[in-house]
Amino acid sequence: MPLLTMTNISKRFGAVQALQDVSLTLDAGEVLGIVGENGAGKSTLIKILGGAYFSDTGSIVFDGESITIDHPEYSLSRGISVIYQELSLVPELSVAENLFLGHMPRNVLGGIKHNEVMQRSRTLLERIQLDVSPRQRLADLRIDARQLVEVGKALSRDVRVLVMDEPTSSLNEKEVQHLFSVVRNLKAEGVAVIYISHHLEEVFEICDRVMVLRDGKEVDTRPTTEWTPTQIVEAMVDRPIEDFYPKANVPIGDVVFRADGLSLNDRVQNVSFDIRAGEIVGLGGLPGSGIIETAQIIAGIRRATGGTMTLQGQPYHPQSPHSAIQSQVGYVPEDRKEQGLFLEFSIRRNIALSILSKLSKFGVVNNKSTEAIAQKAIVDYKIKAAGTGAPVKSLSGGNQQKVLLARVGQSDPILMIMNDPTRGIDVGAKVEVYERIGEFVQQGGAVLLLSSELPELIGISDRIVVLRNGQKIADIPRNEFSQNVIMSYAAGTSGGNNE
């Protein structure tokens, strides 16, 4: 008998049927993958399992017993732990406090049992193979370590089903492998895992079976060995995708942006490059290479400590993100929640925020034009939402990302800096995002692209500038692209001075 059986689960939000009669089974020690387009219902399904939402219909059997999940605490008490798409940790607290968030071991007087907390924290950190002190502040950890602490937090209770919703969306290849090694150990201990991801290679690597959802319905569930990547994509999007990285033939024009000797202490050292009209320049490098800092300097988030920049021939030195926007430099940040969107606000308001000066006459915002612009964004980016008034937090993760892209596009940029623009976006919608980027450069725009996915960087860039230890190592033309070439420059097995 399976450990978990969910039968005919349905859930509706207003006009949206998020799930319709979805069923699944899960065995102990098994990893079940759930894939589907943005808004297909993946997160909704596991939120029902985690007690965050209550389903309209359906039944759940766990461990041979029919159960009603009416509260997150109930799921936890049964050993069902869900790590949501939005991380739930508290950055200001220590690692140990986060591991035991909500159930700190206490003595009869209510005082925290510090020794026990420290001891158990160390055991948990060992299980997630993370070499940090329990006393360290979470905010000081890198994003991959925080993701592992989420897993550790789940393990701080006796976990039997571990659910992970896009756990790797901000991890690089090495960090993904670390997470997978933790998952394999859990699997060996008999823990059942549900794994949601838009990265099909990961799904093929770690999952025993894969379920495809489309528009809230189950399309098919098969053992991983009985799927091919193409079949999964076709089941997800219901149409063949010929070209995953569409690239329009765009004439390259004049220099739009130039960086000359750009420096930020020792993190970015004397970096020079330019971007021309119609050009997509990839900025490649490993964590710590300085690519993020470089992007942030151009976006006005950090101030360079040396060097100069020009935009369309004019000196450019943004004092703030706002002044960068005013100079028509758009920025798609790496984290849409920390630096991008206001989740409580509507789609309309989020989009209007970047163009207030354009929309307001004498300080009065014209609601009609905001509405029209928001409606157009919904159509252009195929944002799945109840309407322009829907709060961004009611959208699926991928659709939130599309709102962010639409917003940046609204401010009439001449240069767009995009840091992982397709994070959390499904395979079909990615192609559409690349087409949008293609249209932007076709109209003379210039793009600086950072991506945690090397195939994406290679797929749509015209040139790739590689940084290593803060220094520019290579400037590679498209006809010389390959994963090997770029990785060997980034990792330092090749180059060092090719200029």
Ligand X SMILES: Nc1ncnc2c1ncn2[C@@H]1O[C@H](COP(=O)(O)OP(=O)(O)OP(=O)(O)O)[C@@H](O)[C@H]1O
Catalog residues that contact ligand X under the rule CB under 6 A: 13, 16, 18, 36, 38-44, 85, 384, 394-399, 426
Angle subtended at Cα 85 by Cα 81 and Cα 90, rounded to the nearest 5 degrees = 75
- A 10 A CB-CB count for 111 gives 9
Out of 39, 41, 397, 409, the residue judged to bind Mg ion by CB under 5 A: 397
Backbone angles phi, psi at 438, to 5 degrees: -60, -45
Q: Which stretch binds Mg ion (CB under 5 A): 269-277, 292-300, 390-398, 455-463?
A: 390-398
298: tokens are 């151009």
* Least distance between ligand X and beta carbon 367 (Å): 23
Phi and psi torsions of 6, nearest 5° = -110, 130
**Based on CB atoms, which residue is closest to ligand X, 44 or 269?**
44
| DSSP-derived 3-state class of residue 86 | coil
Q: Binders of Mg ion: how many residues, by CB under 5 A?
A: 3
The amino acid that residue 364 corresponds to is: V
Query: Residue 395 binds what, of ligand X, Mg ion, none (CB under 5 to 8 Å, by partner type)?
Result: ligand X
Q: In which element (H, E) is residue 42 found?
A: helix 42-49
What residue ranges in 380-451 does DSSP mark as E strands?
415-419, 446-450
Burial class (CB in 10 A: 0-12, 13-18, 19+), 246: middle
The item of Mg ion, ligand X, none sharing an interface with residue 16, based on CB under 5 to 8 Å by kind, is: ligand X
- Least Cβ distance, residue 38 to ligand X (angstroms): 3
CA angle 140, 145, 150 (to 5 degrees): 110
Q: Which residue is nearest to Mg ion (CB)?
A: 43
Residue 211 binding partner per list ligand X, Mg ion, none, with a CB distance cut-off of 5 to 8 Å that depends on partner kind: none
Q: Is residue 171 within 8 Å of 147, Cβ to Cβ?
A: yes
Nearer to ligand X, 141 or 200 (CB): 200
Give 190 or 389: the residue with its C-beta nearer to ligand X: 389
> Segment near Mg ion (CB under 5 A), from 20-28, 205-213, 295-303, 392-400?
392-400
Q: Is the CB of 9 or the CB of 329 nearer to ligand X? A: 9
Which DSSP category does 385 fall into?
Answer: -
Cβ-based nearer residue to Mg ion, 296 or 396? 396
Residues 103, 115: Cα–Cα separation, whole Å: 15
Smaller CB separation from ligand X, 5 or 394: 394
* Nearer residue to ligand X within complex by CB, 202 or 426: 426
Residues in the chain: 499
Strand partners of residue 294: none
Residue 464: its H or E element: strand 463-468
- Which among ligand X, Mg ion, none contacts residue 25 (Cβ within 5 to 8 A by kind)? none
| Residues 42-81: x where in contact with Mg ion by CB under 5 A, - otherwise, as a string | -x--------------------------------------
By beta-carbon proximity to ligand X, the closer residue of 160 and 430 is: 430
**Residue 15 beta carbon to ligand X: minimum distance, rounded to whole angstroms:** 9
Residues 128-157 that bind Mg ion (CB under 5 A): none
Q: What are the percentages of helix, strand and coil residues in the chain, rounded to 5?
A: 35, 25, 35
Interaction site with Mg ion (CB under 5 A): 43, 396-397
